[in-house]
Amino acid sequence: MDQLQLRAIEFRCIQEEQPFCTASCPIHVDVRAFMAGLAKGDLREARRVLDRTMPFPEIIGRICDQPCYSFCKRGEIGEPLATARLERFCVTNSTTVLKPPKLPAKGGTVAVVGSGLSGMTAALDLGRKGRQATLTTSVPGLGGSLRGYPETILPSETLQQAATLLAGYGVILQLATPVDREFIAALPAKYDAVYFDFDEIDATLLPFAVGRPDPLTLSLKHAGCFAGGGIPEGASVFSVIKQVEDGRRAALTIERYLQKVSLTAQREMEGACTTRMYTVTTGMPHLAQTIPADLAIGYTAAEARQEAGRCIHCECLECVKQCVYLREYKEYPKTLVRKVYNNQSIVQGTRNANKMINSCSLCGQCTTICPHDFPVADVCRTTRQEMVRGGQMPPSAHDFALEDMRFSLSSFCTLNRHQPGTASSRYVFYPGCQLAGSAPEAVKSTYQYLTGQLQGGVGLMLGCCGIPAHWAGEEKLFAETMEGFRAELERLGNPTVITACSSCLSIFQEFAGDVQISSLWQVLDTLELPVHPDLLPRQSLTIHDPCTARHQAGLQASVRSICNKLGLNIVENRFNGKLTDCCGYGGLMQYANPLLGAKAAVVKAARSEFDGLAYCAMCRDNLAASGKRVAHLLEYIFPVFEANEPLDRKNPGFSQRHENRARLQQDLLTTLWREPSAPEPEHKKIRILLTQEVLDQLNRRLILEEDVQKVIHQASRTGRHLINPDNNHRLACYKPVRVTYWVEYEPTDQGFVIYNGYSHRMLLPEEKP
Amino acid sequence: MSTFSFIEATSWQCAECHQPLQPTKVNVTYLNSVFNVELMACSQCGFILVPEHLAVGKMLEVEQLLEDK
């Protein structure tokens, strides 16, 4: 990712866009922060917000015509916020908190003719920028048409305060000075720039042809002359805040004019503008506007607090609200991608975001929710590829999952055969590695059923589609896996692949080229299904769609149709289909960040209080591990009669899944194809005895029972181990590949009792990398 | 290079050599980094003990630090 790509991606996240009120305000007052201050009763904080943007808060706060009102999102769920009334409350009950600094004088003289609010604003802004401004008016006081407000609304002392403020910034005030054609005609020669406030000065008074002010810069045709204020052509009413906008716009133009730089470049965001902010109000409570008890006085402190408390603090965060990963890292996509970019820019030092990059489930829920399809998953996945290519991928992040994948692709687990007794296949059943690991009986039943139902031969392929390598950013390993799959498929005569796993389906559709792919569910939906009404649960179940089937509407519909045919009572939850969550397996989240993976499963499980029905083996097992009662759909189509209730089946855990895959291959080879399976390695003959507690510990530490067997086998073979004479326990270690495993055990007549297991990656002197 | 000491009293003995373990200076390595540490090991055959608290504690911490370098 380079800077340009970063900016293009960042732009899609709109969390930092202006809220609707600020965007519609001609001077972009941070109304949201103003409301936040008032809502917590912090008047000084609210006043600070006004002081930061408003040139004369004492005046504007009393008479602002609040163009933001009709843009306020609160209007969708109650009336818009009474912003003007709250401004009035704020400025009548507070004094100046923040006084913007005056920059050092930098030359240039400006005449401001007319003392309306736009002239006052222009003079003030120029004074603050260090320009010498002279404000001239023929009347004895400031304000232009503001002087028409009754004393109760706008006390005359506020205009006197404004005069003091202007003088404080070095503005020369020439009050009660005749302004006629002769006076004006002399100005361009005496000053570097001149601003006419049309609120007070009639354009016909100008002795030279000026035309209408340019709307962007307020420049007149006469060089060095600018004008604004009053009621512009086309408008019917006098707008206070428009006066401020014109004065500010003119000051900025004059500043640029004096600096001899472009008057027009990059001024799109000045004045009221549109915003891409996206705020959903659905589900928020409807709240009516607070009406002051005494309309003449306005809000009391309590009323103001209540009214400001109605502000919904418009922001987007739609993805963050649903994504456990973004919440965990306290990021929204724009800040996340920036951290990813910075992480990749580090040449020497610690890459603190590695774990964050590896913790995304790559499920794409955020992208679906985002109004601009922000591609968090793409960013994380392609960054992982970059990390692998650059040799920066932490070895421990995905090692276990990739070893698991290698095992699924080893001679102990794979099987690629035509249907027994046939020499060609029209179809091939591909259950996927996790279904084989979780529910091997369901794989056998499904295969037998398909061979009985479909004509033309149904072959079987046991293996792994390679998605762990794809998720881990291991491009080479993934490409090799895909190549291996295609070669095997070709050897079987390119039959139509029927896969039970939506991850395999998504991978084959995207990467396997012109291979014919069907989902098992869509195939089953066309066949006569075995129905076992007595074995179905009576209660309603909620379906948990897997994240990799997010965009597979046809597949999702088939699953529901099958449930209907079976007679299962299904209730939908809101986070299904396109919006479905990941169970924690996706993107290898649960390996790179086990605690977050567990949280993801809890979140997915909690989307419905009903017992669950999954049709992805990993969803089934992870939801079960989170404590949810959940069954796999195949368990209701092909019930294992002697088995316990499918809803109560435990998460098999890593070791059992390994074992199940290897046994499934052995069983099928010997029973269906009458072929011998590969000889069992020696260490597998070691009988180990574990308590549930020790087994859970091994699972948490990603240590397989087979690793334990390898350690003991190695110790028995070499005699190298430690012994504790106090209790006769033994301690041995072995490094099969990259990880050194330690096991504390005791040989008994029944087998080896295992007490503990732990591992490390650091190499001891005798070990080779 | 400074040596980090992890010597401790231990009941473990080398089963092969029937020897109690002794403090021993060894080099452990990970991702091109070498650390001089003192661990308990068999003085005869050199079998090194990595106790559980070290493997899941300091060692893991250093491994993760190095992985992010």
Please report residues of B whose CB lies closer than 8 A to that of A762.
28-30, 35, 59, 62-63
Pairing of strands A611-614, A541-544: parallel
DSSP, collapsed to helix, strand or coil, labels residue A613 as strand
The alpha carbon of residue A592 and the mean position of all alpha carbons in its chain are separated, in whole angstroms, by 19
A514 vs A381 pLDDT, higher one = A381
Q: How far apart are CA B50 and CA A78, in angstroms?
A: 66
> A335-349: b or e for each residue (b if 16 or more CB lie within 10 Å)?
bbbbebbebbeeeee
DSSP, collapsed to helix, strand or coil, labels residue A268 as coil
Q: How far apart are CA A322 and CA A316, in angstroms?
A: 12
Give the count of Cβ contacts less than 8 A between chain A and B: 87
Q: How many Cβ atoms sit within 10 Å of the Cβ of residue A174?
A: 15
Q: How far apart are CA A490 and CA A424, in angstroms?
A: 11
Of A726, A730, A763, the CB nearest to B15: A730
Can you tell me the ipTM of this complex? 0.98
Report DSSP state, residue A503: H
Can you tell me which residue has the tokens 């990739």? A402
Q: Report the gap between the CA of A328 and the closest CA in chain B (Å).
A: 20
Decide if pLDDT at A769 tops 60.
Answer: no
CB contact (8 A) between residue B55 and residue A760: yes
> A1-14: b or e for each residue (b if 16 or more CB lie within 10 Å)?
beeeebeebbebbb
Residue A642 is predicted with a pLDDT of 65
CB contact (8 A) between residue B28 and residue A742: no
Q: How far is CA A447 from CA A420, A458, A525, A640, in A?
A: 12, 8, 15, 14
pLDDT band at A388; cut points 50, 70, 90: very high
DSSP, collapsed to helix, strand or coil, labels residue A19 as coil
Of A351, A721, A764, the CB nearest to B48: A764
CB contact (8 A) between residue A740 and residue B52: no
Structure tokens at A695: 């087994």
Please report residues of A whose CB lies closer than 8 A to that of B64.
394, 396
CB contact (8 A) between residue A761 and residue B13: no
- A632 sits in which H/E element: strand A630-632
Of B45, B49, B59, the CB nearest to A760: B59
Can you tell me which residue has the tokens 């969708």? A76
Mutate to test the interface with B, among A384, A760, A763, A768 (most CBs of B within 10 A): A760
Please report residues of A whose CB lies closer than 8 A to that of B15.
719-723, 730
Backbone angles phi, psi at A511, to 5 degrees: -120, -10
pLDDT in tens, A680-735: 899 999 999 999 999 999 999 999 999 999 999 999 999 999 999 999 999 999 99
pLDDT in tens, A276-287: 999 999 999 999
Structure tokens at A652: 């098999």
DSSP A37-60: HHHTT-HHHHHHHHHHH-S-HHHH
Can you tell me which residue has the tokens 């009474």? A82
pLDDT band at A644; cut points 50, 70, 90: confident
Q: How far apart are CA A87 and CA A65, in angstroms?
A: 11
Residue B42 is predicted with a pLDDT of 95
Q: Report the gap between the CA of B22 and the closest CA in chain A (Å).
A: 13
What's at A486, amino acid-wise? R
Q: What is the mean pLDDT of residues A129-152?
A: 96
CB contact (8 A) between residue A721 and residue B15: yes
Q: Report the gap between the CA of A5 and the closest CA in chain B (Å).
A: 24
Decide if pLDDT at A768 tops 70.
Answer: no
Of A352, A723, A760, the CB nearest to B60: A760
Q: Report the gap between the CA of B66 and the closest CA in chain A (Å).
A: 8
Decide if pLDDT at A410 tops 70.
Answer: yes
The alpha carbon of residue A446 and the mean position of all alpha carbons in its chain are separated, in whole angstroms, by 38
Mean pLDDT of chain A: 96
Angle at A318 between CA A359 and CA A582, to 5 degrees: 40
Please report residues of B whose CB lies closer than 8 A to that of A766.
46, 48
Helix count and strand count (H, E) for chain A: 32, 19
Interface of B with A (CB under 8 A): 11-16, 21, 26-31, 35, 45-50, 52, 55-56, 59-60, 62-65, 67-69
Structure tokens at A311: 């502000």
Please state which of the ranges A46-60, A134-148, A633-647 shows the lowest mean pLDDT.
Answer: A633-647
Q: How far apart are CA B32 and CA A62, in angstroms?
A: 69
Decide if pLDDT at B2 tops 80.
Answer: no
Residue A578 is predicted with a pLDDT of 97
pLDDT band at A233; cut points 50, 70, 90: confident
Residue A210 is predicted with a pLDDT of 79
Q: How far apart are CA A615 and CA A547, in angstroms?
A: 11
Q: In which region does residue A64 sit, left (phi positive, over 0), alpha (psi from -120 to 50) or beta (all else)? A: beta
Q: What is the mean pLDDT of residues A211-240?
A: 92
Residue A614 is predicted with a pLDDT of 98
Please report residues of A whose CB lies closer than 8 A to that of B37.
none
Dihedral sign from CA coordinates of A498, A502, A503, A509: positive
- A427 sits in which H/E element: strand A427-430
CB contact (8 A) between residue B50 and residue A760: yes
Residue A234 is predicted with a pLDDT of 83
What is the maximum alpha-carbon separation in chain A? 118
Please state which of the ranges A198-212, A305-319, A665-679 shows the lowest mean pLDDT.
Answer: A198-212
CB contact (8 A) between residue A394 and residue B45: no
Residue A232 is predicted with a pLDDT of 86
CB contact (8 A) between residue B21 and residue A720: no
**This prediction's pTM:** 0.90
pLDDT band at B3; cut points 50, 70, 90: confident
Decide if pLDDT at B1 tops 80.
Answer: no
Please report residues of B whose CB lies closer than 8 A to that of A721.
15-16
Interface of A with B (CB under 8 A): 349-352, 354-355, 394-397, 701, 719-726, 730-731, 733, 740, 742, 756, 758-766, 769
Please report residues of A whose CB lies closer than 8 A to that of B52.
742, 756, 758
Q: How far is CA A52 from CA A45, A55, A311, A480, in A?
A: 11, 8, 20, 61
Q: How far apart are CA A254 and CA A244, in angstroms?
A: 15
Q: How far is CA A399 from CA A695, A757, B57, in A?
A: 20, 18, 20
Please report residues of A whose CB lies closer than 8 A to that of B14.
722-723
Residues in chain B, total:
69
- A611 sits in which H/E element: strand A611-614
Q: How far is CA A112 from CA A133, A178, A201, in A?
A: 7, 14, 11
Please report residues of B whose CB lies closer than 8 A to that of A726.
11
Query: CB–CB of A619/A543 below 8 Å?
Result: no
pLDDT in tens, B4-58: 899 999 999 999 999 999 999 999 999 989 999 999 999 999 999 999 999 999 9
Give me the percent of chain A exceeding a pLDDT of 70: 99
Listing from the earlier edge strand, what are the strands of the sheet with A517-519? Answer: A415-417, A458-462, A427-430, A496-499, A517-519
Structure tokens at A370: 């985002």
The alpha carbon of residue A345 and the mean position of all alpha carbons in its chain are separated, in whole angstroms, by 22
pLDDT in tens, A94-103: 999 999 999 9
